[in-house]
Structure 1
């Protein structure tokens, strides 16, 4: 493996890890900088978010829900099995498993499937497919989804 490839892989791995640290720490502004201005995010069961403003609105809504539905509003994301495919010197695709843990234990889990591009000295997410694969009954995400269903019927 060539040195530039190793450097790119570590930069991308660091970006993915920084993303979950920002999400868990409520650092939305920094988290959004990890997305390109024109990024697209497709979260399972929710409308597609196009651009940073829509992505911000999605995460701010999730933050309000966490504070409303959790006794101890602490969420910790854990990433594993990070696979990085460099498709060029400035393009990459990744897959990473995530597990979100709250005060009750595992809450929800799935995969991030990302497309990234390097602009200047930094990598940014240009497309994220957030694949939710499961959730714990009675957990935060379960309560969040139930509340949204009630709001939609009202």
Structure 2
């Protein structure tokens, strides 16, 4: 069917669960849960800077959201939706994943892009060792660009 071993099928689902947990924790601003998705030495490479280590990622997540609410509108929400992903294993303890995402807010579709993640298996857990999000498009009314 896919040429994956039984272990790789199991690991693929564990990776998808990790990426989902990270997305939901980020949207809910659950800093500890978000940071726990990364390895202790994990890296989050943002367009405006790089965060190195779980502690630095945790500190960043504890800061106010980068999604600014417009004072003239009703407070809204930010919801990331993961779409297609491709998982490539480079051994029993490493995988690279490219996942596309869409972000909705109270204004509708706000922006979209993709993550390039490197995950590392530590025991039975797959954790993000490196994440590089890239945004491809912004709506004219994007809360991120306001």
Question: What TM-score bracket applies, with the shorter chain setting the length?
Answer: 0.7 to 0.9
Partner of 1:53: 55
The residue number in structure 2 matching 1:148 is none
Q: Which moved more, 1:47-56 or 1:115-124?
A: 47-56
Distance in 1, matches of 2:83 and 2:32, equals 24
Q: Taking structure 1 as reference, are residues 62 and 88 closer, same or farther at Cα in structure 2, changes over 3 Å only?
A: farther
Instruction: Report the counterpart of residue 11 of structure 1 in structure 2.
Output: 14
Task: Tell me the TM-score normalised to structure 1 length.
Answer: 0.84
Q: Quote how far apart the aligned CAs of 1:107 are.
A: 1.1
1:114 counterpart SS class: strand
Question: Take 1:42 and 1:128, find their aligned partners in 2: how far apart are those partners?
Answer: 6
What is aligned with 2:116? Answer: 113
Q: Which has the higher strand share?
A: 2
Q: Which has the higher helix share?
A: 1
Q: Which residue of 2 aligns with 1:72?
A: 75
Listed one character per residue, the Cα deviations across residues 43-80 of structure 1 (whole Å, up to 9, x for unaligned) are 12x111111232234333452x4364473231110111
C-alpha distance in structure 1 between counterparts of 2:140 and 2:32, whole Å: 31
With over 3 angstroms needed to count, the CA separation of the structure-2 counterparts of 1:133 and 1:58, relative to structure 1, is: farther
Once the two structures are overlaid, the 10-residue window that deviates more, 95-104 or 129-138, is 129-138
Q: Distance in 2 between matches of 1:81 and 1:94?
A: 10
Give TM-score, length-normalised by structure 2: 0.88
Alignment of 1:1-154 (within 5 A): 1-44=4-47, 46-61=48-63, 63=65, 65-66=66-67, 68-69=69-70, 71-143=74-146
Cα distance in 2 for partners of 1:62, 1:99 equals 21
- Contact 2:34–2:58, Cα closer than 8 Å, also in 1: no
How many residues matched? 141
Unaligned runs of 5+ in 2: none
